Amino acid sequence: LGGCAPRQKAAPAKSAPSIVIGFSQLGQESSWRQRNTDSVLTAAADARYRVLYRNGDSSQEQQIKQIRSFIISRVDAIVFAPIVETGWTAVLKEARAAGIPVILDDRNIAPAERKYITSAVFTDAVGEGQKAAAFVKKKFTNHQGPVRMVQIYGNKDSSVSVGRSRGFTEGLAGDGRFQTVATEYGDFMISKGEEVIRQLAQKVDLHTIDVIFSHNDDMTLGILKYLKTTDIKPGKDIVIVSIDATQEGIDALRRGEINADIECNPETGPKLMNLINLVLNQQSFASSYYLEDQVFSEFDTHLATVKRRY
């Protein structure tokens, strides 16, 4: 691989069916991820692009193999959602040598490796963490004394786990009351969320915990499942802040089992396809595009009417 002759293809028509996109999705770990996959595939179909969809099964090794197969297939563009932030340089250099633009979906990679990336469409993970912190500060405005917190991250070394925890820490900086007493990794999955909180409860008395910040709704559902086997009332004895704002997350918020749900918008498909159109037609484009996120919390009065698409 590598050293492929630079592509001499003429500039393709805007959205001719001849355009082929290689799409390496990081996995199928959560309902959010499924919605993101559907958003990309639906938008590609609307743009009349053909997509080679591959499920990375939460494995960087699989994703790298998939990207290499796209290069061999000489696709017109590659889209991938990187499971972790680093370790992509070699395969990205091969795509660059083959003259194939590579666009990030949903997640970022380390700054040192971004130079091989054409552009990206994602949400602001740091901002999501800051929004979670803003809710916690508001919730504990009149609280005297320490606020003991547990954080349940998603995929270790992923840009969203790094970003969300950074934003949460930044948002609470300067207020010595807030202390994170334990952090665990639940890989954004329901089953792992339940497993890690059950294991943590063997080490930490959860009756002494004031806040659980869970980095996605699927892990939160697993946490709720475990807490319901204890005498702890989620949303009352422990404040629970979650991210994604899936329908099931909003339903738990309505039931008072969680206290806030920060949206992470999965609908990257339309912006991705518009970006690919710009890239393939040699038009100007930005280095990154961000989707907006809103906050849902117990302080909202309109929760009863909130309908989510995933």
Give the nearer residue to ligand GZL in terms of CB position, either 227 or 264. 264
Give contact residues for ligand GZL (rule: CB under 6 A): 29-30, 32-33, 106-107, 123, 154, 160, 188, 216, 218, 243-244, 264
Closest approach of Cβ 36 to ligand GZL, in Å?
7
Is the CB of 19 or the CB of 258 nearer to ligand GZL? 258
Instruction: With CA atoms as reference, report the closest residue to 89 among 60, 62, 116, 118.
Output: 116
Closer residue to ligand GZL in complex, CB, 172/221: 221
230-238 contacts, C-beta under 8 A, 24 or more apart = 230/201, 230/206, 232/206, 232/207, 234/258, 235/259, 235/298, 237/207, 238/206, 238/209, 238/210, 238/211, 238/212
Nearer to ligand GZL, 56 or 98 (CB): 56
- Report in angstroms how near the CB of residue 43 gets to ligand GZL at its nearest: 17
Identity of residue 78: I
79 or 264, CB closer to ligand GZL?
264
- Comparing CB distances to ligand GZL, the nearer of 97 and 291 is 291
* In the complex, least distance from residue 31 CB atom to ligand GZL, rounded to whole angstroms: 7
Distance, in Å, from the CA atom of 165 to the CA atom of 183, rounded to the nearest integer, reads 10
Per DSSP, the residues of 192-208 read HHHHHHHHHHHHS-GGG
Which residue is associated with the tokens 């339309």?
270
Q: What is the closest distance, in whole angstroms, from the C-beta atom of residue 77 to ligand GZL in the complex?
A: 21
In the chain the first and final C-alpha atoms are separated, in Å, by 39
Could you give the CA distance from residue 22 to residue 53 in angstroms, rounded to a whole number?
6
Q: Could you give the C-alpha distances from 160 to 30, 76, 109, 155, 238, in angstroms and in order?
A: 14, 28, 10, 8, 24
Q: Is residue 250 within 8 Å of residue 306, measured between CB atoms?
A: yes
- Residue 214 Cβ, how far from ligand GZL at the closest point, in Å? 10
Minimum gap (Å) between residue 17 Cβ and ligand GZL: 30
Q: Return the residue matching tokens 């994170």.
A: 180
